[in-house]
Structure 1
Amino acid sequence: MKITFLVPSAYGMRGDVRAVLNLAGELAGRHEVEVVSVRRTRETPFFSIDRRVALRWLVDSRPGVPHLLPRGQVRTEVALWRMLRGLSADVLVTARPSLSVQSARYAPRHVVRIAREWGRPTVPGPVRRFYPRLDAVVASTESGRDEWAGLLDDDLSVHAIPDSLPAVPWPRSRMDNRIVSAGGRLVPGKAYDRLVRAFGIVADKRPDWRLRLYGSGPEERRLRALVRDLDLHNHVYFMGTTPDLPGEFAKASIVAVPSQHEVLGMAVIEALSCGVPIVGFEGARGPGQFLRPGLDSVLVAEGEGDVESYAGALLSLVDDERRRMSLAAGALETASGYAAPAIAARWQELMYGLRSRD
């Protein structure tokens, strides 16, 4: 079976890119797999790609690269249309609603077309109009499946399959460093400002602990200013981006997920694979979708006093090594459910089932 994954850019540092590459690498052991990147934004991909997975791009968006068509959007749309119309594959998996709409419109009908979704439906008009032409939607969580099923009104089969971990040995934390880590794009929705304020309370009581923030984004300048204003420059460190976030999480003893609406859970899953407990918030769309509170994590109830409550949850683990170790063992057990072979088998079963309907 030939499987094509279509992504906006396989060259960026995003959790959804990481998830697609993990899945593609595992499926490549039994199928012909390619990743098509609509845009090429840098010389090499940020994350490593399994050598068995073919990678190609449609538009070279690197600075200084000349183009025949002057307008970027027109150039991209033409390249995408040509790729879809001439696609030779058994299965096409699109990793963004805008791409899934184009897949529904232009991909050959003999190709099984699947929309891979991580977030809420943001373009309901085009989705309602074109998604019924697809073969399936796959959400990463049960709540996501319910939202998409409600929007599509049984016009399309909707499934829930979580993201997978890479099929490599997982690094494991020794749980002996006094470090709290957090990783992801530094954007408002991730609520890293709340984490910094909460860690200010932790650092005041336990000054030997440190917070490491991995990632980059538009919030970095504001976060650095907050660290300066709170006089936390000796406690909070901006570590920049890394293609090996699990390796960095393995240096920590706690991983913090301060967002109350965490949809994409790759950072959560990768932390679990390192045997590191999570501190996050409760909520229908929070990290609890990926966790077993009390066994691998501590979740804080939403409401007033979020900063103080979150700081209290962090301190409860900082001060209780035995509990940290117990949650670390539970984290490894939870992570086993996201192993690449198990997740890829679910995708393979779905793909074969959809193909057999033709």
Structure 2
Amino acid sequence: MKVSLIMPSAYGMRGDVRATLSLASALAARHEVEVISVRRQKEKPFFPVGSDVAMRDVVDVRPGVRHLLPRGQVRTEVALWRMLRALKCDVLITTRPGLGVQAARHAPRELLKIAKVWSRPTVPGPVKRFYPRLNAVVTATETAQGEWARLLDGGPVVHCVQDALPAGPWPRSRMDNRIVAAGGRWVPAKAYDRLIRAFAIVAGKRPDWRLRLYGGGPEERRLRALVRELNLHNHVYFMGTTPDLAGEFAKASIVANTSFGEDQAMAVLEAMACGVPVVAFEGTKGPTEFVATGYNGVLVPESEADPGLFAAALLALIDDERRRRSLAAGARDTAMRHAPGEVAEQWEKLITDLRH
């Protein structure tokens, strides 16, 4: 069976990119798999890809690459349309609502077409119109499954298959470093400012603990200014981007997540795979799906104005090593459900059922 997975870019540092490449690598153990990147802006993907996975691009926008057509959205859309019309595979998996719409409109009718989705579309009209032409929609969480089922009422069946973590072995935290870590894109939705303000309280009471922030993005300047304002330069460290986030999380004893709203929570799952308990806010859809207070982490009541609640949750774990180790065991158990082989088997079963 040949499986094609198409994404806007396979070269970025996003949770959905990480999950898609992990799935592709897992499926490649038994099938012919290719990842199609609509845009290629770098020489190599940020995250590792299995050696058996074929990579190809629709438009190469790397500096110095010449094209017959001028750069722009029209060129990309024309190239995407041509690629989809000529696509030869058994199963096509799209990874964004817009790509699902294009696949429904232009991919050959005989292909099995599945839309993998993480968040609701910003413009639902085209999705409601064209998604009924697809064979199925797949979400990563049960909450998202319900939302998409309501959105596509009368459309294709919406299934839930959890995201795949990259293949192990995974490093394991010794739980003895006085480090709280967080990782992801530094954008407003991730609310790292909330974490920094909460950690200011922690640092005032436990000055021997440190906060390490991994990632990069447009919020960096504002976050650095906040650290200076709160005089936390000896407590909060900006560690930059790394393709080995798991290796860095394994150096921590707690991982924090302060995102607003929807969150793909891949960083949460990677932390759990390393045996690190997670502290997150209630109501954040991604973490709420995976974090269970008293089992693998702590969920804190949502509070935008008061960082004290989140700080209190961090301090409670900092002061209770026995509890941290107990939660770490639950975290690793949770991560096992996202092992790539197990997730690949769920996809194979879904594909088999859809083809019969």
Give the TM-score range, shorter chain: over 0.9
| Structure 1 residue runs of 4 or more that deviate by more than 6 Å after TM superposition | none
Mean alpha-carbon deviation: is it higher for 101-110 or for 56-65? 56-65
Mean alpha-carbon deviation: is it higher for 277-286 or for 30-39? 277-286
Contact 1:143/1:284, CA 8 A, preserved across alignment: no
Q: Deviations over 1:299-355 (max 9, x none)?
A: 101246541100000000011111111101111111111111111111111111112
> Could you say which residue in structure 1 is the equivalent of 2:162?
162
Secondary structure (helix, strand or coil) at the match of 1:184 reads strand
Q: Which amino acid is the alignment partner of residue 269 of structure 1?
A: L
Matches of 2:338 and 2:149 in 1, distance apart? 23
> Could you say which residue in structure 2 is the equivalent of 1:98?
98
Contact 1:113/1:135, CA 8 A, preserved across alignment: yes
Structure 1 unaligned runs (5+)? none
Secondary structure (helix, strand or coil) at the match of 1:138 reads strand
Secondary structure (helix, strand or coil) at the match of 2:285 reads coil
Secondary structure (helix, strand or coil) at the match of 2:131 reads helix
Q: 1:304 to 1:244 in 2, by over 3 A?
A: closer
Matches of 1:271 and 1:71 in 2, distance apart? 40
> Could you say which residue in structure 2 is the equivalent of 1:130?
130
Deviation at 1:285, TM superposition (A): 1.8
Matches of 1:304 and 1:136 in 2, distance apart? 37
Give the TM-score taking structure 2 as reference length.
Answer: 0.98
Deviation at 1:291, TM superposition (A): 2.1
Matches of 2:126 and 2:110 in 1, distance apart? 22
Matches of 1:178 and 1:112 in 2, distance apart? 50
Matches of 2:290 and 2:217 in 1, distance apart? 25
> Could you say which residue in structure 1 is the equivalent of 2:213?
213
Matches of 1:254 and 1:154 in 2, distance apart? 44
Q: 1:234 to 1:341 in 2, by over 3 A?
A: same
Secondary structure (helix, strand or coil) at the match of 1:330 reads helix
Matches of 1:253 and 1:161 in 2, distance apart? 29
Contact 2:22/2:166, CA 8 A, preserved across alignment: yes
Matches of 2:284 and 2:189 in 1, distance apart? 16
Matches of 1:316 and 1:262 in 2, distance apart? 26
Secondary structure (helix, strand or coil) at the match of 2:307 reads helix
Matches of 2:314 and 2:63 in 1, distance apart? 43
Report the count of equivalent residues. Answer: 356
> Could you say which residue in structure 2 is the equivalent of 1:5?
5
> Could you say which residue in structure 1 is the equivalent of 2:71?
71
Q: CA RMSD in A?
A: 1.1
Secondary structure (helix, strand or coil) at the match of 1:237 reads strand
Matches of 2:7 and 2:295 in 1, distance apart? 35
> Could you say which residue in structure 1 is the equivalent of 2:39?
39
Q: Which amino acid is the alignment partner of residue 236 of structure 2?
A: V
Matches of 2:65 and 2:52 in 1, distance apart? 28
Pairing 1:146-161 to 2, within 5 Å after superposition: 146-161=146-161
Q: Which amino acid is the alignment partner of residue 211 of structure 1?
A: L
Matches of 1:344 and 1:294 in 2, distance apart? 30
> Could you say which residue in structure 2 is the equivalent of 1:200?
200
Secondary structure (helix, strand or coil) at the match of 2:216 reads coil
Q: 1:306 to 1:286 in 2, by over 3 A?
A: farther
> Could you say which residue in structure 2 is the equivalent of 1:235?
235
Secondary structure (helix, strand or coil) at the match of 1:177 reads coil
Contact 1:257/1:280, CA 8 A, preserved across alignment: yes
> Could you say which residue in structure 2 is the equivalent of 1:323?
323
Mean alpha-carbon deviation: is it higher for 117-126 or for 80-89? 117-126
Q: Deviations over 1:266-321 (max 9, x none)?
A: 11110000000000011162511112221000110124654110000000001111
Deviation at 1:32, TM superposition (A): 0.4
Q: Deviations over 1:106-136 (max 9, x none)?
A: 0001101111111123221000110000111
Deviation at 1:154, TM superposition (A): 2.7
Pairing 1:1-358 to 2, within 5 Å after superposition: 1-283=1-283, 285-303=285-303, 305-356=305-356
Contact 1:260/1:282, CA 8 A, preserved across alignment: no
Give the TM-score taking structure 1 as reference length.
Answer: 0.97
Contact 1:262/1:286, CA 8 A, preserved across alignment: yes
Secondary structure (helix, strand or coil) at the match of 1:5 reads strand
Q: Which amino acid is the alignment partner of residue 276 of structure 1?
A: V
Matches of 2:344 and 2:15 in 1, distance apart? 17
Matches of 1:335 and 1:55 in 2, distance apart? 28
Q: 1:305 to 1:286 in 2, by over 3 A?
A: farther
Q: Which amino acid is the alignment partner of residue 229 of structure 1?
A: E
Contact 1:22/1:167, CA 8 A, preserved across alignment: yes
Matches of 2:4 and 2:286 in 1, distance apart? 30
Structure 2 unaligned runs (5+)? none
Q: Which amino acid is the alignment partner of residue 267 of structure 1?
A: A
Contact 2:23/2:344, CA 8 A, preserved across alignment: yes
Q: Which amino acid is the alignment partner of residue 19 of structure 2?
A: A
Deviation at 1:62, TM superposition (A): 1.1
